[in-house]
Structure 1
Amino acid sequence: MPAATKDAVLASAADLARAAAVEEAGAPDLVGEHLGLVVESERVISHRFGTTSPAHRGWEWTVTVTRVPRGRTPTVSEVHLLPGAGAVLAPEWVPWSERLRPGDVGPGDVLPRLADDDRLEQGYEAVGDADADELALFELGLGRPRVLSRTGRSEAADRWYAGSHGPTAPQAIAASAPCSTCGFLLLMAGSLRTEFGVCANEWSPDDGKVVSMDHGCGAHSETDVPPGPSDWPDAPSEFDPLELVDLSQVRARAVVDERGADAADGDVPAADVPADDVPADDVPADDVPADDVPADDVPADAPAEEAPADDAPVDEPADDQPADDAPADDAPIDAPVPGEE
């Protein structure tokens, strides 16, 4: 098809086109200068004028004129305000099915039914067998007109796992234990039960929501808060923090306490000085207990058994001293035995 030629009669009809634009705009000052013309087809030309309206910056008045064959008088065909190269335009129209996003449906909103939805497939149809129908319709829940297809289950699983209730959520990364070990997890039915459950903990931010098994939060049933430092000082202890004890001295004191012996009036108690450290000649006579009768006050015919060996002074050898060095039953070295003078 040959290109349309420029019509001289229509090209010279700029004043006619401007008058039509002014009439449409409502005021002469809203139509700007002539910007040029466009040959639309044979005997059809559009004249372009700028607009001075501040609400339509970048837009243009377009007036299309034409004439009949062999006619010499141009006629206005159309008048439009069209966007130019720098005009601000609205976004391209998108169908609602592609424009809708999760959370857009509010109370009272209803979505139209999609007859061909890849996420759904035909539900179970009764076959007349009572047992089979009861299993499919009631126990498995397949009595609905349509149920989730494999595609629908797969999309739901991917969406849940990658969302805010999956293992990559910030609270799941900070959790010390997964939901699979929590007592508040309700297991789901069907093929998704191995990967997802429903949280039933009212203190959890996921309460009533589907969570993955490896999700987690701080409201786990088996975790606890680690003990933190206290602002109060520690209570004083009944015992010294550290005390070194000589066990040999402890045993020596125990022997003295059991026998009820009192310490002598000497400078050093007899229980504190081991027997083998004191020479026999240095033991004063005053250290002999009162119940040990001196030899001068005892009659010559008094039997030797009247001076029991158990009444020996306190300076008996400790348990750790060998028995053959200082026998416990022998009397002190400087105490004479009655009857031997």
Structure 2
Amino acid sequence: MISLVPRAGKPDSALAKAVDLARDVVLEVAEPSEVGEHLGARAEGERLVTHHFACLRPGYPGWYWSVTLTRAKRAKDPTVNEVVLLPGEDAIVAPPWVPYKERLQPGDLSPGDLLPVEDEDVRLVPTYLFGDDPLDPPMDADAKAQVRRVAEDLGLGRVRTLSREGIDMAAERWYAGDGGPDAPLAKSAPDTCTTCGFLMRLNGSLSETFGVCANGNANDDGRVVSLDHGCGAHSEVKLARKQQPLPMPDHAFDTLTDDDLETI
């Protein structure tokens, strides 16, 4: 059953009685089999009433038809404002829209795909800072072009580099991901990456927290891992005696010849 939130105020009596008119309006956009019982009318304002009818259209459970009627002051004949199909509390609706850029996950980009970043991306700052005084006015397009030209002339290589916010966002993402200490692989590891000979340290502010795994037999090979991460492919891991494979038996030397086989 669809529950409708009542509006304050008493609906206009002439408009509230125009149920048949409201149903006829719905039948202009829907089949008779798709329109159910009248669910009621509510006031939307002065001389403005909305009628609701159950929707029986296949694939739309919990939806309802909504017809809004009005009339001019001192007029008796209602006028149709709009007719729409709306979702109720139990209706099946699409999930909230998420921009494409926010829906992207690692591995979604295919060869040839482009993912441009915005000029004001907080994760990046100009490699050569120009006008970094907070009292300076924001840079216009020409000023930004000059910054890029200066970066090229100085041979800085990259026009922009990671900002403090960008570094922090990356660190939080890596630490909470599969290469962090809370990953199931790390919780069952015999030791942490800090003491592993396959760990390659990073430079910069993240060097005390992260490194890159260089063990080609490990799940994290070539990936960023936290120093308190770990796995079973640690360089110093040793198997207990009971975990070691059983030794192969000595080869048996067959001394039988073809003549011996004929006498058997």
TM-score w.r.t. the length of structure 2 is 0.66
Cα separation, partners in 2 of 1:168 and 1:123, compared to 1, 3 Å: same
Does structure 1 retain, via aligned residues, the 8 Å contact 2:11–2:41? no
TM-score w.r.t. the length of structure 1 is 0.53
Letter in 2 for 1:66: T
Gaps of 5+ in 1: 127-132, 235-341
> In the alignment, which residue of structure 2 is the partner of 1:121?
125
SS at 2:211 equivalent: strand
Does structure 1 retain, via aligned residues, the 8 Å contact 2:39–2:54? yes
Does structure 2 retain, via aligned residues, the 8 Å contact 1:118–1:151? yes
> In the alignment, which residue of structure 1 is the partner of 2:258?
none
Cα separation, partners in 2 of 1:203 and 1:22, compared to 1, 3 Å: same
Does structure 2 retain, via aligned residues, the 8 Å contact 1:125–1:143? no
> In the alignment, which residue of structure 2 is the partner of 1:43?
47
Cα separation, partners in 2 of 1:203 and 1:75, compared to 1, 3 Å: same
Gaps of 5+ in 2: 1-7, 131-150, 251-264
Between 14-23 and 223-232, report the one with greater CA deviation: 223-232
2-structure distance, mates of 1:38, 1:81: 16
> In the alignment, which residue of structure 2 is the partner of 1:179?
193
Cα separation, partners in 2 of 1:66 and 1:120, compared to 1, 3 Å: same
User: Does 1:7 find its partner at 2:21?
Assistant: no
Cα separation, partners in 2 of 1:52 and 1:211, compared to 1, 3 Å: closer
1-structure distance, mates of 2:212, 2:160: 24
CA RMSD of aligned residues (A): 3.4
Does structure 2 retain, via aligned residues, the 8 Å contact 1:5–1:42? no
Equivalent residue runs for 1:94-173 within 5 Å: 94-96=98-100, 99-100=102-103, 102-103=105-106, 105-107=108-110, 108-124=112-128, 137=155, 143-173=157-187
> How many pairs does the alignment contain?
219
Greater C-alpha Rg = 1
Equivalent residue runs for 1:189-268 within 5 Å: 189-227=203-241, 228=244, 230=246
> In the alignment, which residue of structure 2 is the partner of 1:77?
81
1-structure distance, mates of 2:234, 2:17: 84
Cα separation, partners in 2 of 1:41 and 1:165, compared to 1, 3 Å: closer
Q: Which has the higher strand share?
A: 2
SS at 1:55 equivalent: coil
Cα separation, partners in 2 of 1:95 and 1:71, compared to 1, 3 Å: same
User: Does 1:16 find its partner at 2:52?
Assistant: no
Query: Which one has more relative contact order, counting CA pairs under 8 Å at least 6 apart?
Result: 2
2-structure distance, mates of 1:191, 1:118: 18
Give the CA deviation at 1:25: 0.6
